Amino acid sequence: MSMQQTSINAIPDNEQRIFGPKAYVAMWWGDAVMVGAFLLGSSLIPPFGEMNLWQAMTVLVIANILIALMLAVNGQPGWKYGIPMIVQLRSSFGLIGSRIPGFLRGFPAIFWYGIQTWLGAQAINSIVMQSFGFDNVWVWFFSFQAIQIWISARGMNSIKWVEIIGSIFIMFGLVYLLFLFIDQFGGKVREVGDIPGTWALPFWLGITAVTGNFSALFLNVSDYTRFIPKKTVSQTTYMNIHILGVLPPSILMPLIGIIGAAAVGLWNPVDVISQYVPSEIVSAFILFFIALAQITTNLVANIIPPAIVAMDVFKISWAKACTIIGILAVFTFPWLIMQADFFLLFVAGISALMGPLLGVMLVDYFVIHKRHYEPDALYEGEMYSKWKKVNPAALIASLVGAILALIFIDISWFVGTIAGAMSYYILMKAWIAKHDEYTANAFQRRSNLRGAPSES
């Protein structure tokens, strides 16, 4: 495997950029099928939520279009320069400061790693219990973890092919599961469409919750876009592959959760299938699909980000980073996190932290630097030397955004992102630009480019 593919070095625009459009879409199909999306879907309608079926569907469409847009937008530096998130963050947070948002991104990823592994282990345990009577979820939990560590440690090419092959089975299983649930529970689901519902705060809370499910991925999307060829992929194609990669699975998955909640009052598909699907063969097939989806999700969303951060901070190899991250995921106690009430609070809390960081990153690249970074400067990391290579404006803006997001927790992602972005721009222009050459040059370049065509 290429050293650049498993390091923080910029990936040149050549054969090392291994995710063509089809492979990139397949990666998101594999990644976006998160069993937590079942819970988010079920939380929108009775007995867990207050919306009717059509309002819930509207939430899913709006939220997932926003998700695709945010991924495409914040992934631009990775696609353009071949840099990962941890290097992208240096422009706004500084060489040392970038490690703070890096840890904040990696921390929830390790928790999600444990959650997804636990759900996969539950699915396999249900299959084995139905077929052979053997019931021990812990055996499958640790086996699952060992397999994921082995695959991830082999590098990006191994992850790529697991995602491509897995996405085919996952999308087939997802569509089949949807039709199975409609056939089994369609009558009860229609009743949900007839209730008045609400377009008030619960509607916006739903958009926040669904969007927040991707809030951490918004930050490190450059870890993936850096593998997309620049010369052979147009801006239109770049945007389209995010839409095609995100929307199909990210709408179908919560929709299945909606059907399960409306029909039997359960959000966890493992429980629904185990209790209400009569055919053992069908049940085993669907549960295997769910287990496979946990692997494809973890490989992309929950292993790559903390592994790259660990490589940068601790100067260790990719294989060692993947192994350590896998071991840490076991100690997140996912069997406790998966309690429904705490899980929703977990998602809301993560959204409150991630939104302000995204706001800072977007303003830094698109507004202050006008879509122009100097990769050599980012790798040298000499910016913000007056503050020991930590940008205080980015930290203050993130803190302001996080506090406001927690105050307005129901719409935390929106509030945090906007507050973080506005605070960052004001602080950079009024304070940092007067004391830091890197920032002053960026504002000067911005002034020179005002009125000129933007750089693609």
Number of compact structural domains in the chain: 1
Distance, in Å, from the CA atom of 45 to the CA atom of 28, rounded to the nearest integer, reads 26
What's the longest Cα–Cα distance across the chain? Answer: 72
CB 353 within 8 A of CB 106: no
**Domain-embedded: residue 279:** yes
- For the stretch 374-389, pLDDT in tens is 999 999 999 999 999 9
Residue pLDDT tens, the chain, 456 long: 455 556 899 999 988 999 999 999 999 999 877 766 777 888 888 877 889 888 999 999 999 999 999 999 999 999 999 999 999 999 999 999 999 999 999 988 898 899 889 988 988 998 899 888 899 999 999 999 999 999 999 999 999 999 999 999 888 888 888 888 888 877 777 777 678 888 888 898 899 888 988 888 999 999 999 999 999 999 999 999 999 999 999 999 888 888 888 877 776 666 777 677 667 787 788 778 878 888 999 999 999 999 999 999 999 999 999 999 999 999 988 888 766 566 656 656 666 789 999 999 999 999 999 999 999 999 999 999 999 999 999 999 999 999 999 898 778 889 999 999 999 999 999 999 999 999 999 999 877 776 555 544
3-state SS, 62-93, equals: HHHHHHHHHHHHHCHHHHHHCCCHHHHCHHHH
Q: How many CB atoms lie within 10 A of CB 131?
A: 12
- For the stretch 128-167, pLDDT in tens is 998 888 999 999 999 999 999 999 999 999 999 999 999 9
CA distances from 58 to 41, 63, 182, 239, 247 (A): 12, 8, 19, 21, 13
**Domain-embedded: residue 381:** no
**Domain-embedded: residue 267:** yes
CATH number at residue 294: 1.10.4160.10
- For the stretch 31-71, pLDDT in tens is 877 766 777 888 888 877 889 888 999 999 999 999 999 99
Structural domain harbouring 42: 3-351
Global pTM reads 0.91
**Domain-embedded: residue 289:** yes
**Domain-embedded: residue 455:** no
**Domain-embedded: residue 49:** yes
CA distances from 424 to 51, 95, 272, 353 (A): 36, 17, 46, 15
User: Which amino acid appears at position 357 of this protein?
Assistant: L
